[in-house]
Structure 1
Amino acid sequence: MLFSWKDDSKTILVVCLASLLMALNINTFVQTGGLYPGGATGLTILIQRLSERFLNISLSFAVVNFLLNMIPIYIGFRYIGKKFTLYSCLMIVLTGLLTDLLPSYIITYDTLLISIFGGIINGFSISLCLRMDTTSGGTDFIAIYLSQRKGIDAWNVVLYFNVVLLVVAGFVFGWDKALYSIIFQYTTTQVVHTLYKRYQKKTLFIVTDNPQEVCEVIYATSRHGATILRGEGSFHLKERSLVYSVVSSDESKKVVHAVRKVDPHSFINTIKTQDLAGLFYQRPTL
């Protein structure tokens, strides 16, 4: 577990910012709209509201949220990465403390606006963490574990997983809040999908006269291999090479830029990859 003052200071700063945004979002949009963000955060809020309604007891968000994250934290330490999990613990603790300490503030009572803009802020906060190789905890750990172990884009799986939480909330507190929470969670998922692309993949088809150099630069840039196919150009009837490779979405622009340096005359077609079977190198999480 290696530390770098520059990189780690940047990560800590971003984690603090993400914690502040998430806590403010909970105390403004989420509480005002009576919504359930999903994951450990949503379950924490559900437990708080159940406790207040049936036991007349006010529970600390920080304490309940940390207890719910104990198993995901174990999964993080055991299967994902120790440094990654330590930063995630910082995010979980800071978010909990700030949520308990910061006052509530009402921006609007329009539940639809709350669902959309609250979901955007929530997704942005989660994406900030993910881009710094950390997470906001809860189901994010599980999503990353599935992505690394199974090679799948698991964020929509998390959305389906949260349906159980919303069903319970709907039965107890009313279906209108549960339905608006679906909008909140869907918006969050789409924002994360847009901003965080590490576990998404793209296929590159590169027509070039320098196939070996192109393959070498793809590997040097992304650690991914490539396949060289031989063909013939239909216009000049000249033999050409087609280099085929699959890379992570967050690496695709760097790979294309590197390929253009090696062969400025190359023709590159980039396609979003839906499903992939077989060995695919995944950059490890520290």
Structure 2
Amino acid sequence: MARAHKKHTVAEILKRIIFITLGAALMGVALEYFLVPNSMLDGGITGISIVLSSITPLPLSVLIFVINLPFLFIGYKQIGRTFALSTLYGIAVMSLTTAILHHVEPFTHEKILAVLYGGVLLGAGVGLAIRYGGALDGTEIVAILISKKTRIPVGQIIMLINVVIFTIAGFLFGPDSAMYSIFTFYIAAKVMDIVVEGLDESKSVTIISSEYEEISQAIMDRLGRPTTYFYAKGGYSNMDTQVIYCVVTRLELAKLKAMVQEIDPSAFISIQHVSDVLGGSMEKKSIH
């Protein structure tokens, strides 16, 4: 049993590495092949890095990596080691890709084509990274922390940050480039939506398992999320059991699924979209 569990874990790690690598490389291609040569920006830390690379001698690849580091440290403290390491790896691959492609001739100088191709590749890359337990930008970590303090939805905070970035782009690169950047960001967000299969800020998770006590304790200890038991009775087995219910952020979802399957590979997991969360005990507890 222990040997099979170890193989499963290695397979999951390899799968995560492969898809985060692919996602990070796609984002690097989108930036250097389509967006940056046409004076277009992405949102978040990447957008800030593009702005700084245009007004300083520092290369984009270095800025992306260095500016994201403090947010990765915050992510390590707030969300966990696996997420932080996955994100660090993804950002490193993306930075390396932009460095390699920086002097390569861009695919096109046609603005509309750059918006379409760049937006699709960007959204696919970020979506793959998020789906497999990482991220490619520190903005979401900042947004999650601000949301905890202010109760403003994470999506609104990210949008506000990006409005500021695109406004700056309008002054530096002209209003046309700013508008093209907004269109690119919109397309990327829609593609990301498809790849991740829904980017609601929170997910409610229902878990049915005979190991409910161990799973519940792991969720509280390793994710810092409170859990609730529902008493239930199996329709087929006719046995009494308890169902676990909890609410997590989408960045924590991949870690939660891996954690549950690690404890009980046969556990039943049901995930629902949550449009909003108010009150209750959604606030994370500190993890020691």
Q: Give the alignment's TM-score, normalised by structure 2.
A: 0.66
* Aligned counterpart, 1:40: 45
Larger Rg belongs to: 1
Counting only pairs closer than 5 Å after superposition, residues 226-237 of structure 1 correspond to structure 2 as none
When residues 152 and 166 of structure 1 are mapped into structure 2, their CA distance, relative to the original with a 3 A threshold, is closer
Partner of 1:75: 74
Paired with 1:247 and 1:227, the residues of 2 have a C-alpha distance of 18
Match runs of 1:165-180 below 5 Å: 165-180=165-180
With over 3 angstroms needed to count, the CA separation of the structure-2 counterparts of 1:202 and 1:225, relative to structure 1, is farther
Shift of 1:129: 0.8
Q: In the alignment, is the contact (CA less than 8 A) between 2:65 and 2:92 conserved in 1? A: yes
Please tell me whether the aligned partners of residues 155 and 193 of structure 1 are also in contact (alpha carbons under 8 angstroms).
Answer: no
Show the counterpart of 2:32.
Answer: 27
Percent identity over the alignment is: 26
- The residue identity in structure 2 corresponding to 1:188 is A
**Is contact 1:159–1:185 with CA below 8 Å preserved after alignment?**
no
**Structure 2 residue ranges without an equivalent (≥5):** 1-5, 210-215, 217-226, 233-244, 254-271
Query: Shift of the alpha carbon at 1:30?
Result: 0.6
- Among 171, 196, 208, which residue is 1:220 paired with? 208
Distance 1:43 1:160, change over 3 A: same
CA distance in 1, matches of 2:99, 2:114: 20
| Aligned counterparts of 2:66 and 2:230: Cα–Cα separation in 1 | 45
Corresponding residue for 1:275? Answer: 276
Secondary structure, counterpart of 2:104 in structure 1: coil
In structure 2, the partner of 1:118 is 118
Q: Distance in 1 between matches of 2:40 and 2:13?
A: 34
Give CA deviations for 1:56-90 in whole Å, capped at 9, x if unaligned.
x3x22222112211221121111111111011111
Aligned amino acid, residue 88 of structure 2:
C
Contact 1:115/1:184 (8 A) holds in 2: yes
Does residue 15 of structure 2 align to residue 10 of structure 1?
A: yes
Distance in 2 separating the partners of 1:149 and 1:226: 30
The aligned residue for residue 238 of structure 1 is none
Give structure 1 stretches of 5+ with no counterpart: 52-56, 204-216, 229-244, 252-270
Partner residue of 1:240?
A: none
How far the C-alpha of 1:20 sits from its partner, in A, is 1.3
Rounded Cα–Cα distance in structure 2 between residues aligned with 1:19 and 1:122: 9
1: CA distance between counterparts of 2:246 and 2:13?
Answer: 30
Contact 1:41/1:65 (<8 A) preserved: yes
Other structure's SS at 1:4 match: helix
Residues of 2 paired with 1:153 and 1:193: CA distance? 17
> Does the 8 Å contact 2:48/2:165 carry over to 1?
yes
What is the Cα deviation at residue 18 of structure 1?
Answer: 1.3
Q: Please, what TM-score do these two structures have when normalized by structure 1?
A: 0.67
